[in-house]
Chain A
Amino acid sequence: MFFLNVLTSGLLSGLMYALVAIGFVLIYKASGVFNFAQGSMVLFAALTFVVLNEHGLPFWAAFPITVLVMIVGAVLIERLVLRPLVNRSPNTLFMATLGLSFVIEGLAQALFGSDVHQLDLGIDDMPLDLWGLQISTFDIFASAVAVVLVAVLAVLFSKTRMGISLRAVADDTLAAQSIGIRLPRIWQIVWSVSGLVALVAGLLWGARQGVQFSLSLVVLKAMPVLIIGGFSSIPGAIVGGLLVGATENLADIYIGPLVQGSVSTWFAYILAVAFLLIRPSGLFGETTIARV
C-alpha cells in the first residue's frame, strides 16, 4: 500500500509536469521552437493572476484579464522576437527563448515583487482515503482540470479551422504558407494558447507551493518529460509526465536513502538520457530519415 501511495502521488505530480510540457509541445509543433521561456511564462501568468486577485478581483474577473495579458504577451513575442528571427537555426531560436525567459522573469518580479504569494483557489487540500489510497481532494481537482484542458485542446486542434491550419503548418510549413496560411498569425495563436496552458499550470502549482520565483523552474522538470515523450506529441507529454513523476517519486523514496538525500533534481534527466539511447526520438516522436 505504501508503494501504491508513493506511486499515486508521483503520478499526480507527473500530471503537473505534463501540463507544462504540453505548452512546450504546442509551440514546438507549430514553429519548431524549443521554448525555454515556458517556465517563466508559468511564473508570469501565475503572478499576474495572484496580484490581481490580491487587489480584490474575484476569480472570474482575474482569470480572463490574465488570459488577455498572456495574449498580448504572445503577440509581442511574435512581433519582437520570432518574426525577426524567422528562418534562423533552431539553436538560435532556442537561445533567443533563453534570453526571453530572463526578460520575462525580470519583468515579472520587477512588476509584482519577489515575495511569495499565497494562492487559494478554494479547493481543500485534504487527504481522502480511497480504499487505503491517500489522495488529496486538491489533487483530484487538479487532475480533473488537466484532463479537461487536454480534452479541450484536442477538440480545438482536430475540429476547428485554426487547429487544422496549425497541423498543416506543423506538417509542412512551406506548403501551408503556399495555401495562404499566415504564419505570424498561427504563431501568435499558438503562443497565446500556450500562455493559457501556462496560466492553468501556474495556478495549480502555485496553489500548492505558493506563487514564487521557483515556479519558473518547472521548465527544468518539463525537459526530461519532453525528451521521453517526444517534442511533438501531446500524448507523449502526458505519458512522459506521468512516467517521470512516478519514477522520480519512487526513486526518491527507495534510492534516496541509499545515496544520502533526494535524487529528484537529476534522476529524471538520467532517465531521459537512458530513454534517448534506446529510442532516440522519444516514445511518440516522429522518426525522420536524413535525406541527402
Chain B
Amino acid sequence: MSAPILDVQQVSLSFRGIKALTDLSFAVEKGEICALIGPNGAGKSSLLNIVNGVYRASSGRIIFDGAPFDRPTPMAAAQRGIGRTFQNNALFHRMSVLDNVLTGLTRLGRCNLLEIAFRVGRHPAERRAFRQRADEIIGFLEIGAYRDTVVGGLPYGLQKRVEMARALVASPTLLLLDEPIAGMNAEEKTELSRLIAEVNRVFGTTIVLIEHDIGVVMGLSHHVVVLDYGRKVGDGTPAEVRRNPEVIAAYLGTRH
C-alpha cells in the first residue's frame, strides 16, 4: 500500500484550557472516502479546521501528501490542494453561483494586474478557460439551472452543492466536507450521496467527511473514524466499526 495522503499524528487542540482533541492519530489512504463520526462536540469540525489551517493544533503533526504542514494557513492548504465545505454554508451570498464557483479558481490565475485592467495578454484566454472549467463543475453537480442566480436566495440543499462546486473546481486532491447532507430530506440525501460517490469515482478525489446519518455514512464510505470527547474510539471499515463494542457504547448505542 502507498503512503497515506493524509496522516494525522498525535494531534491535540485546546481552547482556553478546554481540550477539544486529545492525541488523535489516523491515516486516510489516497482515493478513499473517509467518514468522521461521533456525537456533537466530539471535535470533528475542529479537526477539519486544523487540517485546512483555520485553527492551529496545540501539538502533533499533520502530514499531507508526504510533506508536513509547518505553518498551516487556509491559503497554504488551498494551494496544496485541500478543498473544504463548511457545516453552516460559507458561501459568498451576494454573488451568483458562477461567481462563487469561479472564486475557487482564483489561486490558479497567472495574469498580472495590468493584463486584467486592460484585458490584454493572457487575460482573455485565462478568463475563457476559467469559465469553461467552472461550467464543467456546475454541470457535474447538476446546478446549471441556477448558474446566474444569487446564492443567498437558493435553498439550503442547493447551497451545499454550490459550496462543493467551489471546493472542487480547482481539482483538489483532498476534499473536506463538513456535514454535506445535514438538514436534507431523504430524497436530497440520496441525491447528494450519489454525487459525492461520483466525485470520488470520476475525479479520484480523496474525501474526508463528517456526517451524523449513520445509514448514509455506512453506505458511502470506505473507512470510518469514530471520535468521542476528542479521542478516537474506533477506526476501520464500516463493517468493523459497526462491530466495535466501544463504538457502540460511545456512539451508536446512545440515542442520537
| A-B interaction | yes
A residues sitting closer than 8 Å to B (CB atoms) are 289-290, 292
Cβ–Cβ contact B90 & A289, under 8 A: no
**B15 contacts the other chain (CB 8 A):** yes
Contacts of B199 in A (CB 8 A): none
Q: Which residues of A contact B90 (CB under 8 A)?
A: 292
B63 at the A/B interface (Cβ < 8 Å)? no
> CB-CB < 8 A to A290: which residues of B?
54
- A292 with B15: CB separation less than 8 A: no
Q: Is the CB of A289 within 8 A of B54?
A: no
A289/B86 in contact, CB under 8 A = no
Secondary structure at chain B's binding surface: helix, strand, loop or mixed? loop
Name B49's closest neighbour in chain A (CB-CB). A292
**Interface members, chain B 72-97 (any A CB < 8 Å):** 86-88, 90
Residues of A with C-beta under 8 A to B54? 290, 292
B5-21 vs A, CB cutoff 8 Å, 1 = contact: the mask equals: 00000000001000000
A290 CA to B74 CA, complexed, in Å? 13
- A-side contacts of B88, CB under 8 Å: 292
Q: Contacts A292-B87, A292-B88, A292-B90 given; 6 further ones with Cβ under 8 A?
A: A289-B15, A290-B54, A292-B45, A292-B49, A292-B54, A292-B86
In the complex, what distance in Å separates the CA atom of A193 from the CA atom of B74?
Answer: 44
Query: Cβ of A292: which chain B residues have Cβ within 8 Å of it?
Result: 45, 49, 54, 86-88, 90
Tell me, in angstroms, the Cα distance from A290 to B90 when the chains sit together. Answer: 13
In the assembled complex, the Cα of A259 lies from the Cα of B61 at a distance in Å of 53
Find the B residue at minimum CB distance from A290.
B54
Q: Show the binding face of B for A, using Cβ within 8 Å.
A: 15, 45, 49, 54, 86-88, 90
A128-B53 Cα distance, complex, nearest whole Å: 61
Within the complex, what minimum Cβ distance (angstroms) separates B236 from chain A? 29
CB closest residue in chain A, given B48: A292
- Closest B residue to A289 using CB positions: B15
Measured CB to CB, the closest approach of chain A to B13, in angstroms, equals 12
Question: Which residues of chain B are near A289, meaning CB under 8 Å?
Answer: 15
Q: In chain A, what residue has the closest Cβ to B88?
A: A292
| B5 vs chain A, min Cβ distance (A) | 23
In the complex the two chains form, what is the Cα distance from A292 to B45 in whole Å? 9
B1 → A minimal CB distance (Å): 33
Give 9 CB contacts A-B under 8 Å: A289-B15, A290-B54, A292-B45, A292-B49, A292-B54, A292-B86, A292-B87, A292-B88, A292-B90
Complex Cα distance, B45 from A290, in Å, reads 13
Tell me the minimal C-beta distance from B55 to chain A in angstroms: 9
CB nearest neighbor in A for B16: A289
Q: Closest Cβ of chain A: how far from B18's Cβ, in Å?
A: 12
B90 nearest CB neighbor, chain A only: A292
- Measured CB to CB, the closest approach of chain B to A212, in angstroms, equals 43
In the assembled complex, the Cα of A289 lies from the Cα of B54 at a distance in Å of: 11
Rounded to whole angstroms, the CA-CA distance of A289 and B18 in the bound complex is: 14
Q: Give the residues in chain A near B15, CB-CB below 8 Å.
A: 289
CB distance from A8 to the nearest CB of B (A): 40
- Give Cα A212–Cα B157 distance, bound, in whole angstroms: 59
Distance in Å: Cβ of B105 to nearest Cβ of chain A: 22
- Write out the residue numbers on chain A whose beta carbons fall within 8 Å of the beta carbon of B45: 292
A290 to B86, CA, bound (A): 13
Shortest C-beta distance, A290 to chain B (Å), equals 8
How far is A292 from B90 in the complex, measured between Cα atoms in Å? 8
Shortest distance in angstroms between B226's beta carbon and chain A's nearest beta carbon? 23
Docked complex Cα distance between A292 and B86 (Å): 7
Closest to B84 in A: A292
Task: Kindly state the separation between the CA atoms of A289 and B14 in the bound complex, as whole angstroms.
Answer: 13
The docked-state distance in angstroms from the alpha carbon of A290 to that of B15 is 12
Query: In the complex, what distance in Å separates the CA atom of A292 from the CA atom of B87?
Result: 8
Minimum CB–CB distance from B242 to chain A (whole Å) comes to 31
- Closest CB in chain B relative to A177 CB, distance in Å: 21
A-B interface, 7 closest residue pairs, ranked by CB to CB distance from nearest = A292-B86, A292-B54, A292-B90, A292-B49, A289-B15, A290-B54, A292-B87
Q: Give min CB distance, A224 to chain B, whole Å.
A: 30
* Least Cβ–Cβ distance between B156 and chain A, in angstroms: 17
CB distance from B137 to the nearest CB of A (A): 23
A contact residues around B87 at 8 Å (CB) = 292
| A289, B88: Cα distance in complex, Å | 16
A230 to chain B, nearest CB (A): 19
For the complex, what is the distance from the CA of A292 to the CA of B91, rounded to whole Å?
12
Chain B nearest CB, measured from A252 CB (Å): 41
Q: Which residues of A contact B86 (CB under 8 A)?
A: 292
Output the least CB separation between A281 and chain B (Å). Answer: 15
Q: Report the minimum CB–CB distance from B17 to chain A (whole Å).
A: 14
A229 to B90, CA, bound (A): 32
Q: How far apart sit A44 and B87, CA to CA, in the bound complex (Å)? A: 49
Q: How far is the CA of A289 from the CA of B90 in the complex (A)?
A: 16
C-alpha gap A290/B54 in the complex (Å): 9
Q: A289 CA to B15 CA in the complex, in Å?
A: 10
In the bound complex, CA of A238 to CA of B208 (Å): 50
Q: How many Å lie between the Cα of A292 and that of B74 in the bound state?
A: 12
- Report the bound CA distance from A240 to B219 in whole Å: 59
Q: In chain A, what residue has the closest Cβ to B15?
A: A289
**Chain A: which residue is nearest B45 at the CB level?**
A292
